[in-house]
């Protein structure tokens, strides 16, 4: 039996529109589809309302996504503060930044977390790409510290708040994905714009926190950064590095490994999309995130899935796709009503 229908299970795709577009229907029908990622803002056109207009519209869209062949998972970045796709002016519950959340009383944190995860699950969202468990070791970090995405510079503070959010998510039936392995808190540049050097900017305790929390939180998933750790791999960023991913897989053998957006400039400078997809899958990634928002290119998505399909002619690669697809499908079973 051909594995062709399973190839698309390894893709997490973004799209434009408040309903599912025709090209995504075609993709799911031809290849299957692991998941979609939703945004409230379209970066190339600088317009709001990309996928999200209101709670009612979003709930309808999630149902439409779930009705596609292979029932794709619905992912969203709802960390809080600046990085949240569900915002109060559109009728969604408030969610403060991680740093502000950590400053609340325990009772307040529990209530905020409960309200947020129950809302996501009620709307039909399956996976929140959160919590951020990077340590706040560089407050000037443009992509973490400067916009309050980290709970704390202290590992115990990060662990405690991640567990609190995880308890609420488990009760609601929402799956989570911790990020950004192996820890971006100490970085000095933004991976959206530049290749991010991580040597000496994280420690063993920070690295170990990812596999620990992945096991403890619902979803058992880890998002891999585009950080470059030359000690592990002098050439390729963590998200597509065989040595880096083998290291993580040894610590978290059952985790769903998800790349950060493969269209980020920091990665594009060293690997075009087709190459990044193939390298990531060969290295051990399970789900390739192509947000189609930093750049909008449907043709590039089709090219990437066709490259993966061709690579499946090799037995070893076909087995790797089967392994990745099985992990995605296990999360789909967990998400099903």
Rounded distance, CA 170 to CA 219, Å?
Answer: 9
Residue 1 pLDDT:
32
**If you write DSSP's letter for every residue of 214-250 in order, what string do you get?**
HHHSTT-EEEEP-EE-TTT-SSS-GGG-HHHHHHHHH
Angle in degrees, CA 35, 144, 112, rounded to 5: 70
pLDDT at 221: 98
Phi, psi of 13 (to 5 degrees): -115, 145
According to the model, what pLDDT value does residue 200 have? 87
pLDDT on residue 4: 52
Q: In the chain, what's the furthest Cα-to-Cα distance?
A: 56
In this prediction, residue 337 carries a pLDDT of: 76
Nearest CA among 324, 335, 267 for reference residue 295: 267
Residues in the chain where the model's pLDDT stays below 70: 1-5
State how far the Cα of 30 lies from the Cα of 10, in Å rounded to an integer: 13
The three-class DSSP label of residue 251 is helix
Residue 2: per-residue pLDDT? 41
- Tokens 């979609």: give the residue: 36
Residue 175 has, within 13 A of its CA and on its CB side, a CA count of: 24
pTM score: 0.97
Domains, the chain: 4-335 (3.20.20.300)
């Amino acid at each position: 039996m051909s594995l062709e229908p399973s190839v698309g299970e390894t893709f997490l795709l973004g799209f434009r529109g408040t309903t599912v577009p025709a090209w995504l229907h075609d993709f799911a029908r031809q290849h299957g589809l692991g998941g979609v990622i939703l945004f409230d803002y379209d970066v190339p056109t600088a317009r709001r309302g990309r996928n999200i207009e209101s709670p009612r519209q979003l709930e309808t869209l999630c149902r439409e996504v779930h009705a596609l062949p292979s029932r794709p998972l619905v992912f969203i970045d709802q960390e809080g503060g600046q990085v949240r796709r569900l915002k109060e002016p559109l009728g969604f519950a408030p969610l403060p930044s991680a740093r502000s959340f950590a400053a609340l009383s325990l009772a307040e944190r529990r209530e905020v977390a409960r309200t947020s995860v129950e809302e996501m699950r009620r709307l039909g969202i399956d996976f929140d790409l959160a919590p951020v468990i990077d340590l706040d070791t560089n407050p000037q970090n443009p992509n973490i510290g400067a916009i309050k995405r980290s709970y704390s510079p202290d590992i115990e503070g990060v662990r405690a708040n991640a567990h609190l959010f995880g308890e609420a998510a488990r009760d609601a039936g929402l799956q989570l994905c911790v990020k950004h392995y192996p820890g971006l808190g100490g970085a000095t540049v933004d991976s959206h714009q530049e290749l991010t050097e991580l040597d000496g900017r994280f420690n063993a305790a920070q690295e170990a926190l990812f596999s620990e929390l992945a096991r403890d939180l619902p979803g058992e998933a880890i998002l891999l950064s585009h950080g470059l750790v030359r000690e592990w791999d002098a050439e390729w960023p963590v998200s597509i590095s065989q040595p880096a991913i083998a290291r993580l897989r040894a610590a978290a053998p059952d985790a769903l490994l998800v790349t950060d957006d493969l269209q980020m400039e920091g990665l594009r400078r060293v690997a075009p999309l087709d190459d990044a997809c193939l390298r990531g899958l060969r290295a051990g990634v399970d789900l390739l995130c192509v947000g189609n928002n930093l750049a909008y290119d449907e043709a590039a998505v089709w090219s990437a899935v066709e490259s993966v399909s061709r690579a499946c002619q090799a037995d070893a690669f076909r087995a790797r796709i089967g392994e990745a697809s099985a992990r995605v499908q296990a999360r789909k079973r967990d998400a099903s009503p």
